[in-house]
Amino acid sequence: MSDSKYFIPAFGGIYSGLHGFSELLLRVVVGLNLVPHGAQKLFGAFGGGGIGGTAQFLEQVGYTPGLLWALAIGIVEFFGGLAITIGLFTRPAALAVAIFMGYAVAFHLDKGFFWSDGGYEYPVLWCAAAIFFLIRGGGRASADAVIGREF
């Protein structure tokens, strides 16, 4: 990073000082944004349908058995989000999220790009973020780093 030639050289020190926090920031934001979605599906939190409502919806749109899919999606979002947030088993959690978001992209594809119209914009963004952590791992400030093991 120190070999970079910045348009505004005075920012170089700021960039260098914050460089180590960027991965942590992204990991925590990605993980913590997944958790409430999983809580909606698993526990009915935040106005979600819980397992029963999610299973019923999934059955209606062709994902059978709905209960299995509701559990799988809820677990990936809730526990995968927690794992990504703290950086524990980061790569397997990110793989599960990326696979799920790939399905979510396919599910929303016919509605176009924009999320405001029910499109695939949001799942593509989360899929890309998950792929980032699948490739990079949890980083220096992660539980994986603390225990000295990662996948």
Residue spans of the domains in the chain: they are 24-137
Task: Please tell me the predicted confidence (pLDDT) of residue 2.
Answer: 55
pLDDT at 140: 92
Per-residue pLDDT, 1: 46
**pLDDT attached to residue 47:** 97
Residue pLDDT, tens place only, 103-148 = 999 999 999 999 999 999 999 999 999 999 999 999 999 999 999 9
- What's the CA gap between 57 and 99, in Å, rounded? 20
Tell me, rounded to whole angstroms, the distance of Cα 13 from its chain centroid.
Answer: 30
pLDDT at position 26: 96
> Quick one: average pLDDT of 68-83?
98
CA distance 60 to 106: 16
Segment (H or E) for 79: helix 66-86
Long-range contacts from 30-34, C-beta under 8 angstroms, 24+ separation: 30/81, 30/84, 30/85, 30/126, 30/129, 30/130, 30/133, 31/81, 31/82, 31/83, 31/84, 31/85, 31/86, 32/81, 32/85, 33/81, 33/126, 34/77, 34/78, 34/80, 34/81, 34/84, 34/97, 34/126
Q: pLDDT-derived band of residue 3, with 50, 70 and 90 as boundaries?
A: confident
The predicted-structure confidence for 89-100, as pLDDT tens digits, reads as follows 999 999 999 999
Q: Distances from the Cα of 3 to the Cαs of 7, 10, 12, 71, in angstroms?
A: 13, 14, 10, 48
Which of residues 82 and 18 earns the better pLDDT score?
82
Per residue in 35-61, pLDDT (tens digit) is 999 999 999 999 999 999 999 999 999
| 14 confidence band (pLDDT: 50, 70, 90) | very high
Q: Residue 141 CB: number of other CB atoms within 10 A? A: 16
Is the peptide bond prior to 65 cis by the omega test (within 30 degrees of 0)?
yes
pTM for the predicted model, two decimal places: 0.91
The predicted structure's pLDDT at residue 125? 97
